[in-house]
Structure formats: structure tokens, C-alpha cells
Amino acid sequence: MDEVQALLAALRDSPTDLVRVVREIGRRQPATLCLSRKTVETWQTRDPAAWARVRAWLERRGVELKVT
């Protein structure tokens, strides 16, 4: 199982839409991901462990995170 599939499996029960983000980043591999502050705050509230895991994954892939 590759890293993307492993992360998707770990997020299966998350009450967030982080699966959508991981799928999109895995498919397109952009250099930058722009997110609203409200979105990030919602993920941090609903599932802080999942958000931390996805954020670390983004950093390992070299994706710059811009929160506006």
C-alpha cells in the first residue's frame, strides 16, 4: 500500500473532508495548497489528529500551505 492509500485508509472514519484533499493532492501534486482559515480551524476542531497527519504528509511532499 502506498503512502496516499495508507493515509486515505487512516482517514476513513474522520468526521472531516480531508479524504477529498488527500485525493486531490495525490492526483495533481500542486506546489501550493490554499485553504481558508475557517476550513483549517474546523479540521482542527473536528479531528485534530487527522489534520496533523495530513499536514505532515503535505510537508513531506513539499506542498506549501497558504491559509487565508
Digit-coded pLDDT (tens) for 16-56: 999 999 999 999 889 999 999 999 999 999 999 999 999 99
Number of domains in the chain: 1
Per-residue pLDDT, averaged over 1-27, amounts to: 93
Collapsed DSSP state (helix, strand, coil) of residue 64 = strand
Per-residue pLDDT, averaged over 5-21, amounts to: 95
Residue 1 has pLDDT above 70, yes or no: no
CA distance linking residue 51 with residue 56, whole number of Å: 8
**Containing structural domain, residue 32:** 3-67
Other C-beta atoms within 10 Å of 54: how many? 23
Residue type, 7: L
Residue 64: pLDDT band with limits 50, 70, 90:
very high
